[in-house]
Structure 1
């Protein structure tokens, strides 16, 4: 039944004005009227506050959507609330919204509460795995290698848990100087993800932390469900620091295992994976040094053998033999060259002497020595008496000098004289 509005007030909410407002009582009644018309529905969430009141007819608990950080109060008849529902339980509630006009609060009037079964959780985990795999968050090429010897190890674990002691004790036994930056937070139930997320972000922002380990012991699917929470998984995938997942035992496999850079089957295995064993490293170093010495000795022995072989060769054992042989060859070549060149010179000298003798025989000087002379004037050789006139000056060339002459007369020989 609709609540009547006094005639002196606006009949519709949008008709209200500063001069004619609705009283708060009327607004609350209208909201309650609207909410009461909503049908019953099923809603899912996580129980974060539940204190059972003995002998009370009605029980109250807080239902939360932790991903969106929303909460609402739920009231239910005591006999309708299952005994197995506790804080941290994921539930499905059949309820009808209820608006309390006294304080303007919205709540749910629950008729039935069901715990989310393991099958439902596993189905959600598988759906999340498929979603993240399609985004490539499980690809091997995006995983970072673990440092050989981290300066400081970030550890996220429960408060004073066996998992923390397993990681710290085993790592310290392997390398006594290892350092830890530990964040003890809630790792199970409601609020676990809200505590692990800031711890992960804080350790990832610390430049001294070289690797981050998330560790806890085994448990049920419900207990390990926070490590399959999409918010935590995406934060681990986005971390710049290598992430090691050490959750549960070998058979446990939350989604964090798939996105982490290294998955350890147990917290003890995580300690072995991130810290080298000092004893093993010393033994490996000793073995490596020994092998190195053997290798160097073998190289030196091989080199010495090669040197001895080279020195044993004749050219190295008696190098003077080769020099002597070459010296003898050189002496023979020099003797042959000298003899050959001398023969050539003598042959050419004899030939030259013959040519010189023939040349001298044909030389005008030989003729001049027999009393002949060559007459010449300034115009050239006198070959005929007609080449000169009386009183001309001439020069007589003898074999041993010159004579200056003056032509007194010129006489021609007649034919037959």
Structure 2
């Protein structure tokens, strides 16, 4: 029933607000759909606020919720369409209308994005995105494994571009469903078969562009784990450059398109031939430069005097030997002459001191008959026979008298 009032009998404000509050809250909790146009997260706060707007009309409301509800909803961004379970309420103190949200769920494409984000976080926690575990692609694979749909544009793009770059490339193709409920399982089985092939050195998973729902199988957790477990390097070429399924994050190499995948798995034959030609040219130039350098060194060595006339060194050495021999001969001669002079002088001194020289001057050597040299008159007696040895013989004589010589007087002796 409407409240009765007049200027003379107005209703108290609290009565009006409480009546409105009672009316609003009788609506109860209800699921609503809207677009997030403002989301503000306050760090450290339990209560959070966001604004929802109707998708068609200019109608928006402010919603209060908790941090736990927002976290459970997954990553929410402005512009995303969500379904929220809200209960309208009117605050008596301020008279403002607000909605308390107890659950938020992304709807439509937003729901798929939230699911993909949760899957991505789980796989990242398992280490499937680790860059250090990525396997390098071979320079030139023996066989290229290709997983794609039969007679698809992706198959044609990969094969044509690979053979345009490297005509001798060999393919090992496994066709699989590239869309639908069984797509992920079919692709995973094809990857497993190619991974066991002994000559397949790289595997390419190729598909053209499509909607988010069409590419959803390539974000399947089972397919991601199968690709991660493969021992052969895997190239993901799904959709266009803007499409990024989870398979791109798990694969060893992400190609923006199937054509880009072809450029990554094989080298360009023309470019490689040009590089080989340049390498040969550089090698020839290096060899010719080395030969020229060695020839210059050889010419420099040959220009040296010792190599122009090898006997010149021997002649110089022979001349030095001759000079040294002459110096040595002269030194020996001088030394011999000096020694000869010394010997002559020594012989002369010896001869001058010998008894023979004394005898030549007229002296005689006296000895007893027994041959004992007489040096004093006391050595003989009168009538004793003595022998006088002269220069040319001996004379036997008898001692008549022995007369000692007078002793010289000492001039310093006192009389």
TM range (shorter): 0.5 to 0.7
Query: Alpha-carbon deviation of 1:243?
Result: 1.0
Instruction: Summarize the alignment of residues 6-25 of structure 1 with structure 2, pairs less than 5 Å apart.
Output: none
Secondary structure in structure 1 of the residue aligned to 2:145: strand
Partner of 1:44: none
> Are 1:177 and 2:177 counterparts?
no
Specify the alignment match of 1:219 in structure 2: 210
The SS at the match of 1:332 is helix
Per-residue deviation, 1:222: 1.3
Q: Deviations over 1:294-338 (max 9, x none)?
A: 221122122222322333344444555555444433332322222
Return structure 1 stretches of 4+ with deviation > 6 angstroms: 364-371, 373-377, 380-384, 413-416
Q: Deviations over 1:29-78 (max 9, x none)?
A: xxxxxxxxxxxxxxxxxxxxxxxxxxxxxxxxxxxxxxxxxxxxxxxxxx
Matching residue within 176, 181, 185 for 1:190: 181
How has the CA–CA distance of structure 1 residues 375 and 188 changed in structure 2, closer, same or farther, with 3 Å as cutoff? farther
* Alpha-carbon distance in 2 for matches of 1:226, 1:252: 13
Identify which of 258, 261, 281 aligns with 1:267: 258
Partner of 2:156: 165
Matched, 1:206 2:216: no
Report deviation, 1:242: 0.9
**Could you tell me how far 1:190 is from its partner in structure 2?**
0.3
**Within-5 A mapping of 1:255-404:** 255-362=246-353
The answer for unaligned runs of 5 or more in structure 1 is 1-91, 93-113, 388-398, 400-412
Unaligned runs of 5+ in 2: 1-82, 84-104, 380-390, 392-401, 406-415
* 2:200 partner SS: coil
Rate the CA distance shift 1:340–1:234 in 2: closer, same or farther, 3 A. Answer: same
1:155 and 2:146 aligned = yes
SS at match of 2:205: strand
Partners of 2:147 and 2:187 within 8 A in 1: yes
Offset, 1:367: 7.6
Alpha-carbon distance change, 174 to 352 in structure 1, aligned in 2, over 3 angstroms? same
Structure 1 residue 125: Cα displacement: 2.5
Q: Size of the alignment, in residue pairs?
A: 291
* Secondary structure in structure 2 of the residue aligned to 1:148: coil
TM-score normalized with structure 2 length? 0.58
Counterpart CA distance in 1 for 2:373 and 2:274 is: 120
Choose 313-322 or 193-202, whichever is displaced more.
Answer: 313-322
Q: Quote the offset at 1:342 in angstroms.
A: 1.6
Q: Is this contact kept in 2: 1:160–1:184, CA < 8 A?
A: no
Contact 1:217/1:249, CA 8 A, preserved across alignment: yes
Q: Which position in structure 2 is the counterpart of 1:248? A: 239
Q: Secondary structure at the match of 2:204?
A: strand
Distance 1:156 1:373, change over 3 A: farther
Q: Name the CA distance, whole Å, in 1 between partners of 2:308 and 2:349.
A: 65
Task: Tell me if structure 2 keeps the 8 A contact 1:192–1:226.
Answer: yes
TM-score, normalization: structure 1? 0.58
1:133 CA drift (Å): 3.6
